[in-house]
Amino acid sequence: MGAYLVRRVLYGVLVLLGVNLFTFFLFFTVNTPDDMARLNIGGKRVSQDQIQKWKAERGYDKPLYFNEKEQGSAKFTETIFWERSVSLFALKFGRADGEAGGDISHEIKTRMVASFLLALPTLILTVLVTVSFALLLTFFRNTVVDFWGVVLCVAMLSISALFYIIVGQFFFSKLMKLFPISGFSTGIDLLKFLVLPVILSMLARLGGDARLNRAMFLEEISRDYVRTARAKGLSEITVLFKHVLKNALIPIITNIGAYLPYVFMGSLVFESFFGIPGLGSYVIDAIGGQDFAIVRTMVFIGSVLYITSYILIDILYTVVDPRVRLA
C-alpha cells in the first residue's frame, strides 16, 4: 500500500501543478495586470498613476516570469509567477485584488467554519436519507411502492436546486415564518439559520442519489451470496442490512468522496441564497468583483481537496472490502 500511496501522491502533485499552471496562464493571457487594475478600480477612465499604485500595492508591478533587475534566485522569486502561482504550494495566498484587498488566508480560515457547519450536516443527512430510501425501495421491489418511489426520484432529479430554494424560502420562511429567509449567527441561534438550507440541500440530492443507490442494491440482491443467505433462513431485512448494504458500500463511498470537497469549500448556490458567509459565497463575490487572486486560490484549494478525497476513497475501499488490494 505504501508504494501505491506514494505513486498516487506524486500523480496528484503533477495534476495540481498542471491545474495551477493552466489557471495562471489562462488568467494572465486573457488579462494583463493593467486590465485587472482597471477592472478593480473602476473601468477605463483610470489614470496611469492609479494603475501603477494598485499594481504596486498588490505586487503586480513585477515582471511576469523573469526579473532582470534582481540577482541570483531573486530573478525568479521576485516575479508575479512565483508570488501568485508557485507560492500557493506553500499555502501563501497573498492579498485579494479587490478594493478592500483583504488577506485571503484569513478569509479562508474564517469562512471555512461556516461552510463546514452547513456542508457536514448536509452530507450526513443526505447519506442517511438516500441510503434508507433506496433500501426501502429495494425491499418493496417490483411493487407499487417501488414504482412510485422511482417516479418520485426521477421527478426530484429533474428539478433544479434553485426551485427547492425558492419554494422552500417562500413557504417555510415567508408564509409559515418557521425559519429566517437568510442570515447567519453563532451559538444556539445558528440552528435556525442552518435547518432550512440543510434540508433543501438534501432534497436537491435525494432523487439522484437514491436512484443510484437503489440500482446498486438491486444489482447486489440478485447475486448468489444473497440466495445462499435466504436459503439459510435469514429474513429479508437481515439480508438487506447485513449483506447487501455491506457489499454495496464501495460505490456509496465513491459518491460520498465526490462530495467531501464541498464540506470545506462550501456550496456556491445555497450559501449565496441563504446569506451564509462561507467559502462558496466568497467565490461568488470574487467572480462578481473580478477578483482573480481569490478565484485562482480557490481553484487551487479545490484541486487539493479533490485529490486528497480520492486518495482517502482508495484507502477506505480496502477497509470495507478486504478483497481490494492497492498495488
Residue 50 vs residue 85, higher pLDDT: 85
10 and 123 belong to one structural domain: no
In tens, the pLDDT along 259-277 reads 777 766 667 788 888 888 8
Question: Cell 467559502 maps to which residue?
Answer: 279
Residue 54 lies in domain:
2-90
183 and 263 belong to one structural domain: yes
Report the alpha-carbon distance of residue 95 to residue 103 in Å, rounded: 5
Can you tell me the mean pLDDT for 282-307?
84
Flag whether 95 is in a domain: no
156 and 13 belong to one structural domain: no
Task: Please report, as a single letter, which amino acid is at residue 260.
Answer: L
End residue of a domain, out of 90, 113, 146: 90
Q: Quick one: CA torsion of 144, 150, 151, 153, rounded to 10 degrees? A: 140
Q: What is the pLDDT of residue 78?
A: 81
Q: Crossing angle for the helix pair 48-58 and 33-41, nearest 10 degrees?
A: 100
Give the rounded percent of residues in the chain with a pLDDT score beyond 90.
12
Flag whether 220 is in a domain: yes
Q: What is the pLDDT of residue 153?
A: 92
Can you tell me the mean pLDDT for 141-159?
92
pLDDT band for 199, please (50, 70, 90 cuts).
Answer: very high
Q: What is the pLDDT of residue 128?
A: 92
Flag whether 234 is in a domain: yes
The answer to which of 12-26, 226-240, 313-327 has the lowest mean pLDDT is 313-327
Q: Is the pLDDT of residue 212 over 70?
A: yes
pLDDT band for 99, please (50, 70, 90 cuts).
Answer: low
Can you tell me the mean pLDDT for 36-40?
75
CA-nearest of 114, 49, 161, 80 to 265 is 114
167 and 260 belong to one structural domain: yes
Flag whether 79 is in a domain: yes
DSSP structure string for 170-186 = IIIIIIS--S-SS---S
Q: What is the pLDDT of residue 150?
A: 93
Flag whether 97 is in a domain: no
Flag whether 136 is in a domain: yes
Flag whether 222 is in a domain: yes
42 and 174 belong to one structural domain: no
Domains in the chain, number: 2
The answer to which of 9-18, 21-30, 39-48 has the lowest mean pLDDT is 39-48
Q: What is the pLDDT of residue 264?
A: 67
Flag whether 230 is in a domain: yes
End residue of a domain, out of 35, 62, 90: 90
83 and 148 belong to one structural domain: no
Report the alpha-carbon distance of residue 64 to residue 34 in Å, rounded: 12
- Strands (E) in 130-211, as ranges, are none
67 and 136 belong to one structural domain: no
